[in-house]
Amino acid sequence: MFTKGVTPSETPYDGSEFRILILHTRWNLPVVEALVTGARETLLSEFNVKMENISIKDVPGSYELPFAAQEFIKYSDPKFNAVICIGVLIKGSTMHFEYIAEATAHGIMRVGLDTRTPCVFGVLTCLTDEQALERAGLGESPSKHNHGIDWARCAVELAVRGQQGW
């Protein structure tokens, strides 16, 4: 079995001067909280981001993530180097899941492109509760993995490369 998630870059990225926003939902909060913790701890321990430079804000559901990210990016001063949008969508018996997942994914991408601030898509789109738990590192299987770790790595890498001018 290969390692789950993104392999850390061979480049030792330094996040010590970065301001990072972790924007998360309150839907499916126990799972979301584990993902937020995974992302925050990785920013602190792997990239030396300062505690006071990590802002954590919440919104009701995943659908709100793109709009809120756009507003925080627009009005924050000093600006954020990257935003990690975290949510958990779990499929129900209606079409709600499909609409929200697609709108959220496209919305987060658009905010990133429009604002030129890296916006990480940290939204799990799961068919079952068990899938969500596994991907937040809370499941029963040996291959469980907290994807918040990957999202933090992604945010810092994109922020560094943005600063260097790609």
**Residues classed as catalytic:** 96
Q: How far is the CB of 157 from ligand DLZ (least distance, A)?
A: 26
28 is a site residue for ligand DLZ (CB under 6 A): yes
Amino acid at 6: V
Q: By rule CB under 6 A, what count of residues binds ligand DLZ?
A: 15
Q: Does 62 bind ligand DLZ (CB under 6 A)?
A: yes
Of 111 and 158, which CB lies nearer to ligand DLZ in the complex structure? 111
Interface with ligand DLZ includes 83 (CB under 6 A)? Answer: no
Looking at the DSSP bridge assignments, the partners of residue 54 are 20
The span of 55-63, 68-76, 135-143, 155-163 binding ligand DLZ (CB under 6 A) equals 55-63
For ligand DLZ, the binding residue among 15, 49, 64, 69 (CB under 6 A) is 64
Instruction: Choose the binding region for ligand DLZ from 35-43, 54-62, 105-113, 141-149 (rule: CB under 6 A).
Output: 54-62
Segment contacting ligand DLZ by CB under 6 A, of 8-16, 84-92, 141-149, 153-161: 84-92
The pair of structure tokens assigned to 37 is: 């913790």
Give the start-end residues of each E strand in 13-139: 20-25, 54-59, 82-90, 119-126
25 interacts with ligand DLZ by CB under 6 A: yes
Cα–Cα dist 136/130, whole Å: 10
d(CA 113, CA 5): 24
Q: Does 38 bind ligand DLZ (CB under 6 A)?
A: no
Give me the residue label for tokens 């492109």: 113
Taking only Cα atoms into account, the Rg of the chain, rounded to an integer number of angstroms, comes to 15
Token pair, residue 93, equals 């018996």
Please say whether the beta carbons of 35 and 132 come within 8 A: no
Instruction: Give CA–CA dist 45/9, Å, rounded.
Output: 15
Binding site for ligand DLZ (CB under 6 A): 25, 27-28, 60-64, 87-90, 92, 96, 100
